[in-house]
Chains A and B, each alone.
Chain A
Amino acid sequence: MSLLSRLFANRRRELEEEIQSHLQMAIQDRTDRGESPEQAEAAAIRELGNFVRVNDITRETRGWVRRERIAQDLKYALRQLRTSPGFAITVIGTLALGLGATGAMFTVVDRVLLRSLPYENAQQIVEIKEAGRKGVRDAAPFLDLQQWRERSHTLSDVAFYSANKHVSFLEGNTGATQVVAPRVSANLFALLGTHPAIGRGFEVQPQSESVRPQDAQTMILSDTVWRTVYGSDANILGKAIKLNGESYTVVGVMPRGFTFPFGGANPVVWTPIVLTEADATRIEEVIPTYAAIARLKSDVTLQSAEAELKGIQTEVSKGYTDPYDREEVSSIQVQRYGDSLVGGDVSKALLALFGAAVMLWLIACVNVTSLLLARSTARQREIAVRGALGASRGQIVLQFLIEGLVLSGIASVLGLGLAVLTVRLFEHALATQFNIHATLTPSASVILILLGLTLVSALMASIWPAIGAARASIEPALRRGSAQGGTGRAQHRTRALLVVSEIAMSLTLLVGCGLLLRTIYVLRHVPLGFRTDHVIVANMTIPSFKFAGRDIRTELYQPLLERVQHLPGVQSASLMTEVPLGKTFQMVFTFAVEGNTAADIRQRDLSAQFRAVGPEMQRVFGFRMAEGRFFNEQDTAGSQPVVVVNRAFVKGFLGGDQDPKKILGANLIGYGKHRRAVVVGVLDDERQVSIAEQSQPEIEVCIPQITPDTSFYKSAEGLAMDLAVRTERSPSSVVPELRRLMQDASPELATSNFTTMDQVVEDSYGSQQLAARILEMFGGCALLLCVAGIYGLLAYLVTQRTRELGLRIALGAQRSDVMWLVLRQATWMLLVGSGIGLVLAYLSSVLLKTFLYGVKPNDPWTMGVVTLLLMGGGIAAAYLPARRAAGVDPMQALRTE
């Protein structure tokens, strides 16, 4: 502002100086010719003509005047705001709410749905998965991949990788660092359109497409690892590095910003996939499988690629000798890599929330329009005076627009702040729900969108009043004495319509909010089947490489557990591969059953959650047994191996109509050559996968019995382990002690994640909880704005009609009649608004369907209660103006002029 005016001042000064110098030269000429200085000056000035005139015209030709006028309007707008701070604060606050909500949601949408992948032409990169009887499979054997690559004409290349989601340990200069170490095929980097910034990639063997055997123990670092672990060491190539205890030679460093697989919090290193003899077969359980990605040829659509691959797959599946295996890989699913990162539910949910934010913004805009309309009425005389003094309609409209811009400009700055705050507030929930690991700050595109919205809000809110004001004829407004003159029915109707639309939109938001609150209520009352209070959970990062060839059970877990159990205040502690409702690790158990009877097929289709747990588990979580017993201290490495299953498992294994008792004593898993485990107990059902999902089949084995010679020792003990501790002490005092104990046991454990079981449950309410919280906020704001809108309009109307009301009272109208007059107006607005709102809510609640649990999208109770709430709020808002109307003193009102 001051910069702008200084710029104008500069230009004006320069022109003045030019004319001054003209004048001086003229005077000089005349004195040179012998005139007296006074004479010369007078003549020169006369000759120059009207100095100001010259100045004005010259400036006008340069278009400065227009710009100066805008600056003046700007100054005027700011002055206007200063003189009525209440109005300014209301408008700015309202718009800031709308812009803040939209900004916050767009920040999330931008990060989750619109993020650009760091790959060349990322939209051509697709993920190929086999699908069949049991659904979609994440990984496929090499032979199948090879067929796709050889036969397809729609794909330019197929690469594969084995996504190792577990933490690996990289031994660097400063101890072990946690990394993710996926193994990749040699052509993967080339397929993504990138190559190492330093050094080379993995080299391919010409015939087999496999990595050369001499490259088997090589490694490529990500830029992050190179910088943080090796201090950007320029001589890194050729160095030997230990990953999980195995030695690798560094051959390359990827460029900055590159990562694959996309997402994930840990830094990445890559090692090559070297094909072995096992890759030459398709025998289940034996062969390694890989996730496949491919690049579409340009101009090839996803659909045509999928259709072609489905055709190829019918041939490929014939390669499976087992007919049962064949049915599992009969089809193909092709999905863009970018889309595979975000579930369809998540994106739908996000868009619904974004829609809610936009709705709140619209409500804010409508509210502000209504406010500005009222204000333009109050300023009618001022505008008429301006018109009479020669301001053109364009100038008046421009001035309104500038005022609108100033208001929404300030609001957008505040809104940006609000957006940042909101995102901070939901940071934890957003990170767990949408897998965002970087800090969420509004990006350039968010700020751009916000800027656009600001402009649109300014236009939307001020164009209507501006046109109205410019169109109004000057004379009547000037002739009328007071501000009470009334403003024509058209404007009242406009404002009433605005309020009605506000009511309708608010109701829509509130219904969504109500449905989600009911969902949360239902979820919170789902019996989980176990206790969650006072349990601390440590998600351990296990350095299993350090225990290669040793028994991790007796050397790490057992001593650690004993020391934890002896901590003061600890009632019980137990190990388990994954706590119920945990989302970090999952193992699935399936049966290899031959035969074709109904029972055989049922058992083959059964896939059960597999958990290795300690015998103390029951004391920590307090779940119930339906039949038999849980593990106890007598179940040791030397005793008969035992397993525990749950009711859902029994149903899947024996059929739904069977007595769970029948499974006791059954022989389900082989631990080794001569050790087969028997079932000793059946757990009561519990929500162990997700709160919204019924109990899934589950089978549990006892940790002390999993000796290193057990066939599944490595996957059950070496990949993931949670430590659950029941204690009355507060987590903040126990966690440091636990961390110290773990660090003493093995330094790598110090980085384990700690949380409470209550938090795990909270996290698994997940999207519902997040959506409910966000909608609560939006709905609350909408209700507030709506009530303010109703109040504003009625209060204004009452002021406008003071004389009329006074007259009515003077002529004998009852106070209650007058009150009813005002309330009637409120009631019809509320009724019409709610009616439209209910229709809108009914239509839009379908969008929320994926969020809802235990409540239908068109739940009449929710709709009814929410409508009543809005009605109540609206009538309350109308009551104050109505009472003021009834309290009008007739004498005073008639005298007001």
Chain B
Amino acid sequence: MSTSMARRNQYRDRVELLQGTLDMLILQTLQWGPQHGYGIMQALRVNSGEVLQVETGSLYPALHRLERQRWVRSEWKHTESKQRAKYYQITAVGKKQLASDLSRWQRIVEAIGAVIGRDPREGEA
């Protein structure tokens, strides 16, 4: 039991490492409209050119966390293929949070770029 608890703590640490970024990515995805968990996962994969593969073990805790912070709200609806699913929608507070997350992200990328001596825009090109 005690060893399994230790492992659980490690797991949690990893979630926390990703937390800020993942939250931002989810909120960014939800900007285009309400989406369910599976949809968010697909969107992240496709939009990142199949690079970012989010685990469900990170995604759902993140979604529930966001919901508790009132950055998103959820609602049960039917998909086009008549599957019942829980749709998440970004709230006004969430949008504000996203804006601040994005600007912070931008600053970090610029700072890291400056340290390793390359213009981030160059790298992007």
Question: What are 21 A-B contacts with C-beta separation under 8 Å?
Answer: A15-B60, A17-B84, A18-B85, A19-B56, A21-B84, A22-B36, A22-B85, A25-B38, A25-B39, A25-B85, A26-B38, A49-B55, A50-B57, A54-B56, A54-B57, A57-B11, A57-B57, A58-B60, A58-B61, A61-B64, A389-B1
Residue of B nearest to A22 (CB): B38
For A4-41 the 0/1 string (1 means CB < 8 A from B) is 00000000000101110110111011000000000000
Q: How far is the CA of A76 from the CA of B99 in the complex (A)?
A: 48
Which chain B residues (61-113) contact chain A, with CB distance < 8 Å? 61, 64-65, 68, 79, 81, 83-86
Number of interface residues of B (CB under 8 A): 25
B26 CB to closest chain A CB (Å) equals: 14
In the A-B complex, the 6 residue pairs with the smallest Cβ-Cβ separation, listed nearest first, are: A390-B1, A25-B38, A21-B85, A61-B61, A22-B38, A58-B60
A24 and B83 form a contact (CB under 8 A): yes
Q: A390-B2, A390-B5 are in contact. Are A62 and B68 (CB under 8 A)?
A: yes
Q: How far is the CA of A58 from the CA of B55 in the complex (A)?
A: 13
Which chain A residues (40-67) contact chain B, with CB distance < 8 Å? 47-50, 53-54, 57-58, 61-62
**B22 an interface residue at 8 Å Cβ cutoff?**
no
Q: A57-B11, A390-B2 are in contact. Are A28 and B64 (CB under 8 A)?
A: no
Which chain B residues (1-50) contact chain A, with CB distance < 8 Å? 1-2, 5, 11-12, 15, 36-39, 42
Write out the residue numbers on chain B whose beta carbons fall within 8 Å of the beta carbon of A53.
57
Contact residues of B: prevailing secondary structure: helix
B60 and A18 form a contact (CB under 8 A): yes
Residue among B15, B38, B85, B86 with the most chain A CB within 10 A?
Answer: B38
Write out the residue numbers on chain A whose beta carbons fall within 8 Å of the beta carbon of B81.
28
A28 and B57 form a contact (CB under 8 A): no
Write out the residue numbers on chain B whose beta carbons fall within 8 Å of the beta carbon of A47.
56
Write out the residue numbers on chain A whose beta carbons fall within 8 Å of the beta carbon of B11.
57
A22 and B56 form a contact (CB under 8 A): yes
A25 and B1 form a contact (CB under 8 A): no
Number of interface residues of A (CB under 8 A): 23
| Chain B residues within 8 Å of A, Cβ to Cβ | 1-2, 5, 11-12, 15, 36-39, 42, 55-57, 60-61, 64-65, 68, 79, 81, 83-86
B64 and A58 form a contact (CB under 8 A): yes
19 additional A-B residue pairs with CB within 8 Å, beyond A17-B84, A25-B38: A15-B60, A18-B37, A18-B85, A18-B86, A21-B36, A22-B38, A22-B56, A25-B39, A25-B85, A28-B81, A29-B42, A50-B57, A53-B57, A57-B12, A57-B15, A57-B57, A58-B60, A61-B65, A390-B1
A43 CB to closest chain B CB (Å) equals: 14
A49 and B5 form a contact (CB under 8 A): no
A49 and B57 form a contact (CB under 8 A): yes
Q: How far is the CA of A21 from the CA of B11 in the complex (A)?
A: 25
A464 CB to closest chain B CB (Å) equals: 28
Q: A28-B81, A49-B55 are in contact. Are A22 and B5 (CB under 8 A)?
A: no
Q: How far is the CA of A894 from the CA of B100 in the complex (A)?
A: 75
Residue of A nearest to B65 (CB): A61
A8 CB to closest chain B CB (Å) equals: 15
Write out the residue numbers on chain B whose beta carbons fall within 8 Å of the beta carbon of A18.
37, 60, 85-86
Q: How far is the CA of A458 from the CA of B78 in the complex (A)?
A: 50
For A380-422 the 0/1 string (1 means CB < 8 A from B) is 0000000001100000000000000000000000000000000
A48 and B56 form a contact (CB under 8 A): yes
Q: How far is the CA of A49 from the CA of B61 in the complex (A)?
A: 14
Write out the residue numbers on chain A whose beta carbons fall within 8 Å of the beta carbon of B36.
21-22, 25
Residue of A nearest to B86 (CB): A18
A21 and B86 form a contact (CB under 8 A): yes
Q: How far is the CA of A21 from the CA of B39 in the complex (A)?
A: 11
Q: How far is the CA of A28 from the CA of B83 in the complex (A)?
A: 10
Residue of A nearest to B3 (CB): A390
Write out the residue numbers on chain A whose beta carbons fall within 8 Å of the beta carbon of B12.
57
Q: How far is the CA of A21 from the CA of B81 in the complex (A)?
A: 12
Write out the residue numbers on chain A whose beta carbons fall within 8 Å of the beta carbon of B56.
19, 22, 47-49, 54
Q: How far is the CA of A50 from the CA of B1 in the complex (A)?
A: 18
A320 CB to closest chain B CB (Å) equals: 78
Q: How far is the CA of A19 from the CA of B55 in the complex (A)?
A: 12
A478 CB to closest chain B CB (Å) equals: 15
B35 CB to closest chain A CB (Å) equals: 11
